[in-house]
Amino acid sequence: EAQVTQNPRYLITVTGKKLTVTCSQNMNHEYMSWYRQDPGLGLRQIYYSMNVEVTDKGDVPEGYKVSRKEKRNFPLILESPSPNQTSLYFCASSLRGSGVTYNEQFFGPGTRLTVL
């Protein structure tokens, strides 16, 4: 089944304790992205990756790191989490597309993170 998986789905941690949220897709998509969803703010893009070893900042990259060593995986790293990073996080992927078409993003189920 074509899908984007995220782990863990729920995480409660404390300020300053490094954590990684994994994201994996089995669709051979070039483009992968991380978003955070907050009430009243919608989804905001944190980082995205156009392909292996190619990453770029979205609108809210502060406090986050990413890496893209393999095409299928795109982990999100919080080196020193703070309470303002409490949020619902989504990973997404898509075929890169070109020309007149651009393929839609497929979203993972989300990771609910609470930082105390």
Q: Which residues bind another protein (CB under 8 A)?
A: 4, 31, 33, 35, 40-45, 48, 50, 56, 58-59, 90, 92, 100-102, 104-110
Nearest-approach distance from CB 81 to another protein, in angstroms: 22
Q: Which is nearer to another protein, 12 or 80 (CB)?
A: 12
Between CA 39 and CA 19 the distance in angstroms is 23
Tokens of 52: 């292996």
Q: Which is nearer to another protein, 58 or 63 (CB)?
A: 58
A 10 A CB-CB count for 77 gives 14
Q: Which is nearer to another protein, 40 or 69 (CB)?
A: 40
Nearest-approach distance from CB 102 to another protein, in angstroms: 5
**Can you spell out the DSSP letters for 13-61?**
E-TT--EEEEEEESS--SEEEEEEEETTTEEEEEEEEEETTEEEE-S--
